[in-house]
Amino acid sequence: MVRVGSGCFWWPTGWSRTPLDSSTTSSSGIEPDGIARRNIRRTYQPERQTGQEVVFGGEGRRRRPSVFWEHDTVGVSVLRFGHHPLPARAAWTGATPIREKDFPVKRIGIIFGGANNEHEVSCSSARSVASHLDPLRFVPVLIGIDRAGGWHRLESVEALADATDGTRFPGLDQVDVVFPALHGRFGEDGTVQGLLELARIPYVGCGVLSSALAMDKLLAQRLLELAGIQTIPTSAVTRATVADAVSLADALGYPVFVKPNRSGSSVGASRVESAESLAAAVALALEHDSTALIQTTIVGDEVALGVLQQLDGSLAVGAPLRIVTEDSTAFFDYTAKYTVGGGATLEVPAQIPDAATERLRELAILAFRTLDCEGLARVDFFLGADGTITINEVNTLPGLTAFSQYPRMWQAVGVSYTELLSRLIDRAVVAFTGEQSVVAISASAPGVTAPAGSI
């Protein structure tokens, strides 16, 4: 692959890589100055690779293979040689000429959807990931899980809504790396990660154990307490012990928060002001999990930090992010998280004291290592007015739309969304192979970095 001047030349997927194996594409459909189709043919010379003559010009001419541009349903520009697509997302960069010949384009399987209550959030993450992968290095392969648990190899995220007759794990044999854009149970709880381990496919993010631990809030809390991190006072009830809820909430003191033990995106969570509304909140939480948590209310700012594992295993922490709600007594619920004008804004970098920022970063790294996380995690805290720090939870597959918290933490320190995705994929490959030489190594992420094993 060669990036030249104001355009990009692409290695055709699956073809031998020689200086002649290049093609070019534009997101606007307009050929940039100096890059005409006749020049593509001179440089590309596909006849030498296939034995077929190429006719430039498209429809209405001789019925031999031609080269033309089109757009697919996930916003990816495709240069076609005859009926054979050569995937490439437009990227006219004006960059200094460089060569990246040693690392072939990888097919990234983006798994999304899921049979849980965070299905739509997952679809949003997948749509953003697919459209922001580095087109010089990666080609998206969309694998959707419908609400009934069926798997589908799809051409667009939107197609999942109409998919039927799901087969067992289609597309996994067509990818080099999997990017799980999944949230909630049967997605970020270690189940899909276990499947990928059995299939021996590299994947982005935490492994089976850390995914399962972080998903179980009660178990994760116990481990974090043992590591010396202050946690939220919590009690738990099941369907068999639901009668204990009133006494447990009374002991904690109102208002309390009630939430499912294993769920995310604040689905099934409620703020409860008095005993009269407790039963309904517990019943709602138990609709989403077999255990409901009752937690005391922590007064303070909600501050989150993103941890990113680098190729050498060291950990970098992005800019702190503070959630600002219009009503100080409100909480960051599903509507506030995913609805425009939902009543909350994200302040990044968070305007908090430097000493608090430093301590939050230390605790984020400690929490990441305590749960044996891998690749990435978002660690959520409460910061009290007196400087007291209380951990809320560790999210091993945070929202990954371009406007989600985790990408914004890294954008604030100079890491673009596309570059962030590349680093996550590179780390997955290195973790699987044990060799840094198998990926195109980029610069370390900015932010505070802790060497491997330092905490």
pLDDT, tens only, 66-119 = 333 333 333 333 333 333 344 333 332 333 333 344 567 899 999 999 888 788
342, 324 in Cβ contact below 8 A?
Answer: no
The tokens 């997955």 sit on which residue?
A: 428
Complete domains list, the chain, with CATH:
2-99 (no CATH), 106-203 (3.40.50.20), 233-296 (3.30.1490.20), 301-450 (3.30.470.20)
Q: What is the value of pTM for the model shown?
A: 0.72
Q: Which of 130-139, 283-292, 388-397, 428-437 has the lowest mean pLDDT?
A: 428-437
Reported confidence tier of residue 278, pLDDT bands at 50, 70, 90: very high
Reading the block at residue 254, the tokens are 């109102």
User: pLDDT tens for residues 382-405?
Assistant: 999 999 999 999 999 999 998 899
* Residues known to be catalytic: 118, 265, 338, 378, 380, 393, 395, 399
Q: Which H helix or E strand runs over 407? A: helix 405-411
Give the pairing of strands 177-180 and 106-113.
parallel
Question: How far is Cα 163 from Cα 145, in angstroms, rounded to an integer?
Answer: 9
Structure confidence at residue 67 (pLDDT) = 35
